[in-house]
Structure 1
C-alpha cells in the first residue's frame, strides 16, 4: 500500500454501502444540536479504517460524523459511544480534543449508532517524516505530540468522570487476551511468530501497574495540526481509549521509530537529526521529563507487545475486508503487513529471552 497521503486525506462521495438517509439525519440534528441549520451536504472522509467518518456541511459551519459501520462486527469493536464519552470528558482538560455535540444511539436514524463533533480545520499528516515541512516546523510537531500524550496520561481520570471508563488494573494482561481473541476471530493464515507471541506475552508481563486514560492508537495521522503553529490542535480516533497502563500507550506511539516507512509509516532508517526529528531516546526522555519519570524499564517487552497488538489490529481490518465491512477502500492492502509486524515483535521478545 502506498502511503501517499492523497489516498487518505480529504473527502469523497459516500461509498454505496455506507450511504444513509440524509434527510433523516438533518431532521435529527436540527432537534439535537443548538443552532444547526440545513440544508445538509454529506461527504465521506477517505481516511479511517474502522469507523466511517463523514463531513457534514451546512451554510453556517462544518461538522464531523463518526458512526459504527453496518454489518457483522467483532465483539467490543467500533465503540463510537466510548469515543464520544472520552472526548466530552477531556474537553475540561489540557488535552486537545474536538468539541462534541451529540451522541445518537437510535439506530433507526441512519442505520447505526453515531456521534457528531466539530470539524477541526487543520492539517492531518500521514508521513511522519513530514516532507514539505521545515526543520523548525518538524520540531514543533513532535514536541507538541509528545506534550499532548504526556498531558493525557497526567489527567486525573476520576476527576473528569471517567472512573468507570475501564478496569483500573491488569491492563496488559487484558489487552493481550483481547487482541489474541480478536486476532483468532479474524485469522486468515497461520503465522508462527504470532502464535509464539500469543503464547509468550501473557507469562512475561513486567511487574508494576499504573492507570491512566490511554488513547490506544496515538500516532501522527490521528492528530490535527494547526496550520500556522504546526502544533497539535486536536487528537482524533478515540475508539480504543480506555483506562490502562500509560507506558503501553506511549510505547505503541513510539513504534514509529522502530518501523520502516514502507512497513507502517515509520521513521527507522531516516536521518532524524537532519530532519529536525528527535531520536527515540530523545523522545522518550522528553516524555519522562513531562510525566516525572526517571526512565522506562522493560522497553523491549513493550515493543514486542505493541508489534503483536498492531498486527492483531491490522488482521482485524483484513477480516473486515473479507466480510465486506471495512470502511477504507485501501484496507485490503494491510494484509501484507501483518506477518512482518508479527516477526518483528517476536524478534523483540527473543532479545529478552536471550538476554541481549
Structure 2
C-alpha cells in the first residue's frame, strides 16, 4: 500500500510594494490577493528515484522547475529516497501571478507530508530561495485572502521571508478580471535582480505616502467593503510603483496591450485595476460577476488582438488544500 498526497493551490495578485526605500531597516512590504484561478495541482508519492511528469497542457519548463525544487528539498533534508510527482494543472509562468512560489511550496509541502518532515511554508521558502522580497505568495499558500506583509529585514544577512502583518477575507461577491498577454513575459530571475540593483533610491517621503494609503485607506476600505476607496488606494500604489519600475519594464505597465486595456478601464471608471507584480498580467475588480461580465463584453469588442485573453475569477479565502489517498502499489 502506498500513500499519495495531492496539493492544490492557486495564483495570486501582487498589487504593489509600499516601502521601496527601506530606511527603517525593512524594505518592500506588499499587498496582494489569493485567486480562485488559475490553479496548480500536483500529486506525489514516495519513490526510490525522482520522477516528475505532467499533463499535456503543462509546459516542460514547469516540470523542470518542480524537479529542481524537489532535489533541493530532498538534498537539504538528507532524504535518501525520492518522490514521483505528477502535475495536472499549472499557473502560467512569468505572468506576475506567483507561479514560482506556489510550485516551490506545493512541492515542498508534498514531500514534507510524505516523509513527515513537519516543514512550515516559511522553511520551504527559505530552502528554495522564495520570498526574497514579497511574502504575499507564502501567506496566500497558507491562508488565502487579502494579505499585507511587512517587507524583508535588510539589516540581517540571514533574514527570513517577510512576515504577514494582516490577513482578511476578500468579499466573495467581488469579481476579478484577469487580462493575459501571451506575447510578453514579466521580468524575472536574474533580470529582476539586476533591475533592483540598477533602480535609483526610492524617495522616503513617497514610501511614507504609500504606507499611509495602505494602512489608512486600503485596509479599512476592505473591512467596510468599499470597493471605490479600496481601488483608489491600489491606484496610488500602481501609479507610483509602476512609474518607478518604468525604466525596466518599458512603461507603467509591462505589456503594451494590457496597458491599452487598463487605460480603457480608466475611461470606463472601473474602480480598481492594475498590473500584478512585474506583469504582464493585468487585473480589474468589480462589485459583482454581472458587472465583470458586462465590462468584459465591451473590452472584447474593443480589443481583438489574438495575444490577449481573459478570465473572470473569484478571491480564494483559504490556503492550499491537501488530500491523502491510499493506493495499491
**Shared topology, TM-score over 0.5?**
no
Q: Which has the higher strand share?
A: 2
Normalised by the length of structure 2, the TM-score is 0.30
Q: Which structure is richer in relative contact order (CA contacts within 8 A, separation 6 or more)?
A: 2
Normalised by the length of structure 1, the TM-score is 0.28
